[in-house]
Chain A
Amino acid sequence: MTGFARGTVVTDDMRPPVAWAVILKDALLAAVVAILLALPLVGLQTYDIGGGALGIRTHFDWVALGAAAVFAGRLAVRLLPRPQFRRDRHRQPVFKRLTVWANRQALRLAFVGIALAIALPLLPFSSRYLIDLGTTVLIYVMLGWGLNIVVGLAGLLDLGYVAFYAVGAYTFGLLATDGGFTFWEAVPFSGLVAASFGIILGFPVLRLRGDYLAIVTLGFGEIIRIVLLNWASLTGGPNGIGGIPRPSFFGLPFARSAPDGAMTFHEFFGIEFSPDHRVTFLYLVILALALMTNLFTLRIRKLPLGRAWEALREDEIACRALGINPTNVKLSAFAIGAMFGGLAGSFFATRQGFISPESFTFIESATILAIVVLGGMGSQLGVVLAAILLVTLPEFGRAFAEFRMLMFGAAMVVVMVWRPGGLISYREPTLRLHPQSSVGIGR
C-alpha cells in the first residue's frame, strides 16, 4: 500500500494482493520485541518477603497476553486499509491561515487577551486556584519571552536559561532578607545581576554555535545550581533562603494586621481582609512584568539591534562582512535575555517566600525551551499558547499521578508531528516596503 501516493483513491481492483508471509513475519517480529521488552518490565515483579528481603514473582501470562495483543494489533494495522487522507486544497492549511489571520489581527487579539488576563481575577468563576495557576503560567510566559530573545531571535540555543532565573531569585532573596531592600528596589538589581551573568556566560561561548553552544550552556546552568548548593555561607546551601518578604502594595502590606500600627492594604482601602488580595496582586505584578517583556521584544525587533540578532541567526559570516560586530550582538542578546530571566526569578522568589536550588534544575530549562520551540521559534503569541499548554496540561493530568509525564511527552510528540515548526511558525517582517499588501510569510 506504500506505493500509492497519499490522496489517491484505492479501489478494490487496484489493491495489491495480500502478501501473507511478509505481514505474518512483520507481526511476529513485533511480538518478539514486545516479549523482550515486557519480560523485565511486566513479567518480573519484586515483592517484600519479610525481613527486608525481596522475592520475585513472575507474570508470564501477562507477557503472553501483551505479546498476543501486539501480534493482533500489528496484523490489523497491516491488513486494514489505511485511512485515506484527503488533501483538500481548501481544508489543509487551516492552521496556517489561522496563524496568518491571528497575526493580521494581532493588535486586536492582544487587546482582547490582555483585557481577559486583567479581568481574570474579577470573573465569576475565578478562584484562588485559577489565579495561582494563571500566575504560574505567566511566569513561564515571561521566561519563554525572555528565552525567545536568545533562542528565537538570535538563534543561540541556550539549555541553561534557568541559571539566570536562579541568579535573579537569589539576588532578590539576599537583597530582600539580608539587604533589607523592598520588592520594588530589589527587582531592578536582580535584573542587572542576571544580565551581567548573561555577559559572563556570553564571553566564553562567543565562538560556539548549535550543539556545542547547547552543551556549554547546559553546563553553565548546572554550575550555577551546584554553586548555590555548596556556597552555604551565602546561599544557605540546600536549605535555601527562607522568609523572603512578601510584596507590599507600594508600602501597604497584605496582612490581617500590620505591626507597630502601620496601615495594611485592606485598612487603607477600607475593605474586608482577604488572603486573595495578595494572590491577585501577585498575579497582576507578573502580568505587568510579562507584558513589559513582550513590549520590549516587539519593539527591539524593529530596531537595528533586533534585526542584527535575526541576521546573526541567519548568517554570522555575512554579518561580519556587513560590518556588524558579532561579539556585541551576541552579548547583548545573552544579557537582555538573562535580564528578563532574572526579573522573573525575583518575582518567583517573592511569590514563594522561599527558594532553594531544587527549584532551578535542568528540567526547568528544558520546560522553558520546550515552550519556545513548541510555540514556534520567535513567535510571541506561540509562547503564550505553549506556556498555557505545558503548564495546564500537567495540572489536568493530576488525576493520573505518575502517568503525567507520559501524557506530557505524548502531547509534545503529537504537536511536533502535527506542527513541526511549532504552534505558530510565522514571522512578521519587521518593516515593509508595500504595507498595503500584507501577505504573511509562513516558515
Chain B
Amino acid sequence: MPLVAVEHLTMRFGGLIAVDNLSFTAYRDEITAIIGPNGAGKTTVFNCLTGFYRPSSGHLSMHVGGEIVRLERIAGFRIARRAGIARTFQNIRLFAGMTVLENLIVAQHNSLMAASAFSIAGLLGLRRYRSAEAAAVERARHWLDRIGLTDRADGLAGALPYGAQRRLEIARALCTGPLLLCLDEPAAGLNPRESEELNQLLLLIRREEGIGILLIEHDMNVVMGISDHVIVLDYGRKIADAAPAEIRADPRVIKAYLGEEDIAEAREGEIGDVAPAEAGAQGQPARTRGPDFPLSRE
C-alpha cells in the first residue's frame, strides 16, 4: 500500500500550467526522488502536498494508520499533524534568532501545547508539562547527536555554517514525528563531503525511522546514490518513473535535460563531466537547460 498517492494533480497559475495531470505514489521505507529541469514544477508538487497551495484539480491522499487523509481538503497548517508530512525548504527557513535546541523544540509545538493544557499547566509548572518538556528535549538531543550539532545546541541557528543549517532543518522536520519527509533540494550549496554526509543521514533516516522520503534534488550523486525510485518531470508532466538505473538510460529524460540536438554530443560523453549548473529560482518559467545531468558518469 503506498504511503502517499498523487492522482491527476493539476496546478494552474493563471494561464501557466505548472503541474499537469501528474500521478505518482511513494512508499514507506523508500526514498523517492523528483527530478527535472528548473521550472518543471517540482516545488509546486511539494507545495501542494504540504498545503501551501490548493491544487486546481486532482487528489492527494496520505495513508495514516488505517485511514486515508485527503490532503487537499484540510487546512495547510494541519497537514503536519494530521497527515504526518514534514518538509524543508529550498532556501533554508530556520528560526535564525533562536537557538538550535529551540528550533527543535518549536517543531514539537503541538504535543507540548497539549501537555501544557494550552499554557495553563505550564504556567502552574505542573509535573505533567515538565516531563513532556524533558521528553521533547531528549528527542531533540537524539537528532542533534545524529546531525552532529550537540555541541552547538545553545548557539543561534542563524550562526551555523550553511551545511549545518541544512542538516538542522532536516532534524527540525523530523522532530515533528512525520510519516513522510519532503526535502526540497537538501544538497544545494553543499560541498562533495557534506553531500556525502547528507546521503548517509538520509539512508540512516530511512533505515531507522521507517518513514518515506520524498526528495527534490539536482545533485545527481545524491539522487542516483540513494533513491529507490526516481520521477522525472518536464513542463509539469511526468516523463519517467522508474529505478535510477533505468532513468539514466531513458532517452526522454536525456532529451528533457539536454534538448534534442545535444543528445548526440552527450552520447559521446563530453558534457557529462561538467559540474551541475546552479539551481535557478523556483517557479521561473524561463529555464536554463544547462548540462546538469552527468549522464556519462558510471
Binding site for B on A (CB under 8 A): 296, 299-300, 302-305, 307-308, 310-311, 313-315, 317-326, 427, 429-434, 437, 439, 441, 443
Contact = CB atoms under 8 A, between A and B. Distances in A.
Contact of B109 (A314, A323, A427): A323
B76 interface: yes
A319 to B, nearest CB: 8
B201 interface: no
B144 A433 contact: yes
A300 B93 contact: no
Interface string B61-94: 0000000000000001111110000110100011
Given A304-B116, A307-B98, A324-B109, 16 more contacts: A304-B109, A304-B119, A304-B122, A305-B113, A313-B97, A314-B94, A314-B97, A314-B98, A318-B95, A320-B51, A322-B109, A324-B110, A430-B102, A430-B105, A431-B133, A434-B154
Given A304-B109, A305-B119, A318 B93 contact: yes
B93 A433 contact: no
15 contacts: A303-B129, A305-B113, A305-B116, A308-B109, A315-B95, A317-B52, A321-B93, A323-B110, A429-B154, A431-B101, A431-B105, A431-B137, A433-B137, A433-B144, A433-B153
In the complex, the 3 A-B pairs of residues with the closest C-beta atoms, listed nearest first:
A323-B80, A433-B153, A314-B95
B123 A303 contact: yes
> Most chain-A CB neighbours within 10 Å: which of B81, B122, B173?
B122
B153 to A, nearest CB: 4
> Most chain-B CB neighbours within 10 Å: which of A315, A427, A437?
A315
A320 B238 CA distance: 28
Contacts of A433: 101, 137, 140-141, 144, 150, 153-154
A315 B93 contact: yes
B78 to A, nearest CB: 7
Interface of B: 50-52, 76-81, 86-87, 89, 93-99, 101-102, 105-107, 109-110, 112-113, 116, 118-119, 122-123, 129, 133, 137, 140-141, 144, 150, 153-156, 172-173, 176
B141 to A, nearest CB: 7
A199 to B, nearest CB: 15
A307 B153 contact: no
Contacts of B102: 307, 310, 429-431
A311 B106 contact: yes
A323 B87 CA distance: 11
Contact of A323 (B78, B129, B133): B78
A50 to B, nearest CB: 66
Contacts of B99: 429, 432, 441
Contacts of A439: 154
B80 A321 contact: yes
A432 B95 contact: no
B97 A304 contact: no
A268 B80 CA distance: 62
A443 B98 CA distance: 10
A307 B123 CA distance: 14
A372 to B, nearest CB: 16
B9 to A, nearest CB: 19
B107 to A, nearest CB: 5
B95 A310 contact: yes
A322 B112 contact: no
Contacts of A441: 99, 155-156
B95 A321 contact: no
A443 B97 CA distance: 8
Contact of A304 (B52, B79, B112): B112
A303 B94 contact: no
Nearest to A299: B123
A323 B98 CA distance: 18
B136 to A, nearest CB: 9
Given A304-B109, A433-B141, A324 B123 contact: no
B147 to A, nearest CB: 13
A303 B119 contact: yes
A303 B95 contact: no
Contacts of B52: 317, 320-321
B164 to A, nearest CB: 15
A307 B99 CA distance: 11
Given A429-B101, A433-B144, A434-B154, A322 B94 contact: no
B89 to A, nearest CB: 7
Given A314-B96, A433-B154, A434-B154, A322 B80 contact: yes
B79 A303 contact: no
B154 A322 contact: no
Contact of B86 (A317, A321, A427, A432): A321
Contact of B113 (A299, A304, A317): A304
A321 B81 CA distance: 10
Contacts of B119: 300, 303-305
B150 A307 contact: no
Nearest to B121: A303
A310 B80 contact: no
A430 B95 CA distance: 14
Contacts of A311: 95, 98, 106, 109
Nearest to B84: A323
A307 B104 CA distance: 11
Given A308-B109, A311-B95, A315-B94, A434 B79 contact: no
B176 A323 contact: yes
Nearest to B105: A307
Contacts of A307: 98, 102, 105-106, 109
Contact of A432 (B96, B101, B176): B101
